[in-house]
């Protein structure tokens, strides 16, 4: 994987082979950040990266100047890898080794963007549970956005907070906003 833009544009990061992850492709990541750049000044926002895995998304936010990044993953080795790369690149990323659902139920963090990249084989009701908890607990700032990456075979559009989705190959980004 590589960092697409920002201070560390073009830098490659090699994750250990034993991590239980499926990193977001560079093409999909670049497309996602093109969308986010049209909505936010990335150096002024706060982000939570759920199911962070290799830290691919968190590193991209950090390279683009985002100062408040929280990466959450339940796997010790993933968290340790994120901490190692963050140290090498001088990124300030707060890591949490936690079950994502427990984290969401207990956190008092409010943020501008929450990005979630759960395993594609997770049941649909778990994907929707992320949306439910985020909006029940009011975890997004005003004009905040929840982005969930999922398989093209899943449709999350029936949720009342659903705004739109974008498909990139076998992946889809579904965007959720607070209802008016």
**Mean pLDDT for the stretch of residues 63-69:** 94
In tens, the pLDDT along 76-134 reads 999 999 999 999 999 999 999 999 999 999 999 999 999 999 998 999 999 999 999 99
Res 137: pLDDT: 97
Q: What's the confidence (pLDDT) of residue 16?
A: 78
pLDDT of residue 163: 95
Domain boundaries, the chain: 39-176
Strands 140-151 and 68-73: unpaired
How far apart CA 146 and CA 148 sit, in angstroms, is 7
Q: Are 30 and 4 in contact (CB under 8 A)?
A: yes
pLDDT tens-digit profile of 8-58? 888 888 887 888 787 787 888 999 999 999 999 999 999 999 999 999 999
Assess whether pLDDT exceeds 80 at residue 179: no
DSSP secondary-structure letter at 2? B
Give the residue with greater pLDDT, 165 vs 67.
165
Cβ atoms of 55 and 86 closer than 8 Å: yes
Residue 177's pLDDT is 94
Closest CA to 22 of 176, 174, 170, 155: 170
Concatenate the DSSP letters of all residues of 115-146 into one string: EE---TTS-HHHHHHHHHHHHHTT-EEEEEEE
Please answer whether residues 24 and 117 qualify as being in contact, where contact means their C-beta atoms are separated by less than 8 angstroms: yes
What pLDDT, on the 0 to 100 scale, is given for residue 158? 92
Do the Cβ atoms of 71 and 82 come closer than 8 Å?
Answer: yes
Cα-flanking dihedrals φ and ψ of residue 123, to 5°?
-65, 150
User: Considering the domain 39-176 in this protein, what is its CATH number?
Assistant: 3.40.50.150
What integer pLDDT is reported at residue 13 of this predicted model? 87
Q: Which of 97, 101, 100, 98 is nearest to 82 (CA)?
A: 97
**Structure tokens that stand for 111 in this block:** 């943020």
CA nearest to 47, candidates 32, 21, 67 = 67
Cβ count within 10 A of residue 157: 10
Neighbours of 158 (CB within 10 A): 7
**What mean pLDDT do residues 144-156 have?**
95
Question: Which element (helix H / strand E) includes 147?
Answer: strand 140-151
**Tens of pLDDT, residues 70-91:** 999 999 999 999 999 999 999 9
């Amino acid at each position: 994987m590589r960092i697409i833009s920002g201070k560390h544009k073009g830098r490659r990061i090699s994750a250990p082979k034993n991590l239980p992850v499926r990193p977001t492709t560079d093409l999909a990541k670049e497309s996602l950040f093109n969308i986010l750049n049209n909505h936010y000044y990335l150096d002024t926002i706060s982000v939570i990266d759920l199911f962070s895995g290799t830290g691919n998304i968190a590193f991209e936010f950090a390279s683009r100047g985002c100062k408040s990044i929280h990466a959450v993953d339940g796997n010790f080795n993933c968290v340790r890898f994120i901490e190692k790369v963050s140290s090498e690149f001088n990124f300030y990323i707060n890591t949490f080794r936690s079950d994502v659902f427990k984290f969401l139920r207990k956190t008092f963090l409010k943020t501008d963007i929450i990005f979630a990249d759960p395993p594609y084989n997770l049941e649909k009701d778990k994907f929707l549970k992320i949306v439910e908890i985020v909006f029940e607990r009011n975890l997004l700032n005003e004009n905040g956005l929840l982005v969930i990456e999922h398989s093209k075979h899943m449709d999350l559009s029936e949720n009342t907070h659903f705004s739109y989705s974008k498909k990139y190959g076998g992946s889809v980004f579904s965007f959720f906003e607070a209802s008016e």
